[in-house]
């Protein structure tokens, strides 16, 4: 980019199940203001924000009297939409990133292609169904919704781990770090769409 374009976007999404406002700044410093009504999910999104360096304001009012499912999935939808809008035509991005992330006894790999082609490969098994009151199966639901709506190809592989909190947290942190790298502007091709097709949407 000859002149740094602003890579920010806001999304508001209201259904009969949830009401969500999301604002993101891809070129942020990892400042977040996150409130979903689900303590554990807020903790995960705080990690996602901090380690991606993408500023995220996320405010959700969901039908938690039913369960956490709609709130988690719809947050993934709105956050993915905001990231996609903020990326615009995806000009100049690094596009690919992958890394292994460790936390105590757990190691998780995330690989990303900011391709415009939504796809999730999820190879993570939680030993327990719950972390406190939070259903561990919702971690996959979040990333499925996020990848679909962000227009990214996302692979997550848990190599090993015993503690469910750690397994979940390494998923969020690994995807955050990969997303940070993959969405950063590559100065060697800063004004070019990183595809021989000439388009990434």
**Residues of this chain that bind Mn ion (CB under 5 A):** 169
Q: Are 1 and 185 in contact (CB under 8 A)?
A: yes
Q: Of 68 and 169, which has the nearer Cβ to Mn ion?
A: 169
Q: If you ran DSSP here, which 8-state letter would residue 42 be given?
A: H
Q: Which is nearer to Mn ion, 74 or 169 (CB)?
A: 169
Q: Where are the alpha helices (DSSP H) in the chain?
A: 39-52, 69-87, 137-150, 164-183
Quick check: 179 and 112 in contact, CB under 8 A? yes
Considering beta carbons, is residue 36 or 153 the nearer one to Mn ion?
36
Rank residues 73 and 169 by Cβ distance to Mn ion and give the closer one. 169
Question: Cβ 44 to Mn ion, closest distance in Å?
Answer: 8
How many Cα neighbours within 13 Å face the side chain of 109?
A: 9
Six-digit token pair at 185?
A: 């502007």
Minimum Å gap between C-beta 82 and Mn ion is: 24
Q: What is the nearest approach in angstroms of Mn ion to the Cβ of residue 168?
A: 8
DSSP state of 29: -
Taken as a whole, the chain contains a residue count of 201
Among residues 114 and 175, whose Cβ is nearest to Mn ion?
175
Rg for the chain, CA atoms, rounded: 16
Tokens of 143: 């990333």
Quote the least distance from Cβ 41 to Mn ion, whole Å.
Answer: 12
CA dist., res. 22 & res. 34, Å (int): 9
Considering the complex, what minimum distance in angstroms separates the CB of residue 50 from Mn ion?
Answer: 12
């Amino acid at each position: 980019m000859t002149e740094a374009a602003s890579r920010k976007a806001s999304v508001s999404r209201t259904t009969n199940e949830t009401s969500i406002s999301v604002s993101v700044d891809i070129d942020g410093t990892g400042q977040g203001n996150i409130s979903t009504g689900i303590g554990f999910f807020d903790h995960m999104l705080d990690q996602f924000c901090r380690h991606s360096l993408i500023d995220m304001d996320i405010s959700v009012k969901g039908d938690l009297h039913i369960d956490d499912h709609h709130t988690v999935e719809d947050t993934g939808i709105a956050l993915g939409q905001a990231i996609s809008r903020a990326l615009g035509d995806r000009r100049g991005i690094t596009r690919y990133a992958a890394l292994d992330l460790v936390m105590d006894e757990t190691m998780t790999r995330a690989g990303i292609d900011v391709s415009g082609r939504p796809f999730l490969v999820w190879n993570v098994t939680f030993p327990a169904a719950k972390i406190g009151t939070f259903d561990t199966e919702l971690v996959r639901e979040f990333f499925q919704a996020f990848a679909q709506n962000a227009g990214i190809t996302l692979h997550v592989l848990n190599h090993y781990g015993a503690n469910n909190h750690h397994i979940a947290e390494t998923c969020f942190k690994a995807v955050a770090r990969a997303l940070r790298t993959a969405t950063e502007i590559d100065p060697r091709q800063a004004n070019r769409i990183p595809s021989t097709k000439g388009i990434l949407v």
